[in-house]
Structure 1
């Protein structure tokens, strides 16, 4: 299959790194759509907490409850839309429909006057906040499998994930400025208009006759040409392995909430660092990820996605273990760079592995994999509360370090049992393009 052999064609292994990235040009309209839609969503997200507290009178606990409840609803919607998105042309309907749904939700949010109303709007409308990005990544995978080009799925996914990170930075910045100069309600109305603009753009890109329009991907035959029965068996096995991947990512990500809540305290109280350095420490990992993601994508194609994922997993163990014993602000900044290695490696290799595990079901695979973020948010809140209450804001990082160590051991065991499935190669591919058997392209 093209999807199974594109990583071994040697486009990046022969020193043509720039050529591989330039080959992602046909997917750039999708990246632009993701950039604009994600910027709008993050702009609204940055203003939501202050809006709930200052204008609706919500307490800090009520704000947290809102995020947890919406995360649960979002996980259910992500899985449901992922399940149906791989059928026929459903994916090209889900993307604009979700953008329209979000636009309506932001418009209604601008007029709510009570916390229960905000919670209801969040559950009903913002449960779809992760759907457009997940389905855009799946649609990009569809195009890679249908095109005969030099771009690999890893390169395209890396580029789209970088665009999503840029959208988060831009969105939070615009949200802060909009909150300061416009206020929360006008900002939500602007975001609603932008979402409707994204709806029009997505309708043109996905339904028109442009370069990115293509036929929907068909279920792929297995390598032995055993037909659809073999595909169903392989898909069922892939689902089980995908669940393993999701479980380990939940464990790896369960300390993220504690990092956001306790790292500023650790920097200022224990390490006596300035407040300005605290903000830079929090911003350093996502900034480093913008550089590390292309590097990790290149490494994944060259040496195997499984190896890159395990490198990121090991980095998480080092990071949380290091937070327990860190003594200076400089060492903390170094640990933040290590944390960026974890984020870049597991995002790039993880999404690509998830889509490879369910051939022809990229939408479902991406939705299942990304749902770990919602579960990790809920689980991480409990981990943070228990760890800080019992061990303190620094020693408490022992708990997420232990969870990461368990996840690293579990993922290493699973990858070793299925080395081909998880692309755990012993050596990089040769410089020559491998021969693709007839009937698999």
Structure 2
């Protein structure tokens, strides 16, 4: 009697899983089409000074944090997360249309960024829905989420080259309209294929919060992940200029290094997801910290083109585990709050970017690009302290 319902539901589960994978990929593509070319867009199309470009990134991160945290708490308490993702995709498409035809800096910053913050929130909310769906259907949540993260990484492997090809070959209007199209396709798939996981009415006396010790550990994990993403942001900002201006290596090497790391992150995420249950998420996050420590020591001491490429394996372990396991660790520490946990993890990337963006240029201007990697080592040290303090669950 037990075999019949399982067989009857196998096909819908496969369709639902495929829909999650495609939505993860398309939301990743929508972001990968916009973010890599944003500074170029602001400089060449909106015609603003470099300082205003930096302010735009900082303002985007702050607005994104406010919007995503508001939606995260609301999504965990009431309503259907599927409907929220649908609306976020439509607002993301609207933001892309605004960027396609508007060239007023302040309209883009306050209206465009506000709308795009909803679009970027679709991704963490989709991961939260995937976790709830996996828990509800008895699927292996860790491996499923790791595969979803790999889809986003795959989008970021192919998205930036496509973004530059569209922007430079056909113009920014075409590029942003392509991103809008990706969001529209996402919204259709979300509405038609993703499952509804409506929240039951929560009693007013019930608080959706983790146990006190878990809240402390969640805070430590937030700091650790913020420092790790901050290191990565410092690397992305600083590395091309360091390679070209101080090491005097070929300009194309920077792009090859980023592409190599992004490609290696995909198998790293899948392997980490496979071994998470056996070794535990805390152990894997500590492995990521060790890999990051060795990677940035290597960046400080290695100046050979081929050895720098070889270092990308350590970088892939560092970011691949962080991207694949970090979010799941937050969800474990915050039971019953999948949306808040996933968004909190996502905001570590935004806070890390704010820290890196404010430090990278100042440190490089006062000292040099090489010194920035010492700052990254200091951030890794803070990560190590936090990970040691987190109790195993």
User: TM over 0.5, yes or no?
Assistant: yes
The alignment partner of 1:367 has SS state of: helix
CA offset digits 1:67-101 (Å, max 9, x no partner): 11011100111111110112343312210011111
Equivalent residue, structure 1, for 2:122 = 132
Unmatched 5+ stretches in structure 2: 1-12
Greater CA drift, 234-243 or 182-191: 234-243
Alignment of 1:182-197 (within 5 A): 182-197=170-185
Match of 2:226 in 1: 250
How many Å separate the matches in 1 of 2:175 and 2:292? Answer: 36
Deviates more, 1:359-368 or 1:263-272: 263-272
The alpha carbon displacement at 1:295 in A equals 0.9
Moved beyond 6 Å, runs of 4+: 217-220, 227-231
Q: 1:247 to 1:140 in 2, by over 3 A?
A: same
Contact 1:271–1:329 (CA<8 Å) still a contact in 2?
A: no
Determine if the alignment matches structure 1 residue 374 to structure 2 residue 350. yes
Residue number among 60, 78, 85 corresponding to 1:70 in the alignment: 60
Following the alignment from structure 1 to structure 2, what is the Cα–Cα distance between the partners of residues 118 and 232? 36
Alignment partner of 1:409 is 2:380:
no
The structure whose residues are more often helix, as a share, is 2
Q: Structure 1 residue 24: deviation in Å?
A: 7.5
TM, length-normalised to structure 2: 0.89
Pair 1:326-2:302 in alignment: yes
Deviation at 1:217, TM superposition (A): 6.4
CA 1:46–1:323 in structure 2 vs 1: closer, same or farther (change >3 Å)? closer
* Residue aligned with 2:365, SS: helix
Does residue 167 (structure 1) correspond to residue 143 (structure 2)? The answer is no
- Secondary structure class of the residue paired with 1:130: helix
Residue 188 (structure 2) aligns with? 200
1:135-284 superposed matches below 5 A: 135-148=125-138, 151-206=139-194, 213-216=195-198, 234-284=210-260
Q: What is the aligned-residue RMSD (CA, Å)?
A: 2.5
CA contact (8 A) 1:52 1:63 kept: yes
Give the C-alpha shift of residue 376 in structure 1. 0.5
In 2, Cα distance between the equivalents of 1:144 and 1:96? 20
Is the alpha carbon distance of 1:230 and 1:334 closer, same or farther for their aligned partners in structure 2, counting shifts above 3 Å? farther
Q: Which runs of 5+ in 1 are unaligned?
A: 1-22, 207-212, 221-226, 422-441
Judge which range, 97-106 or 42-51, deviates more.
Answer: 42-51
Look up the match of 2:5. none
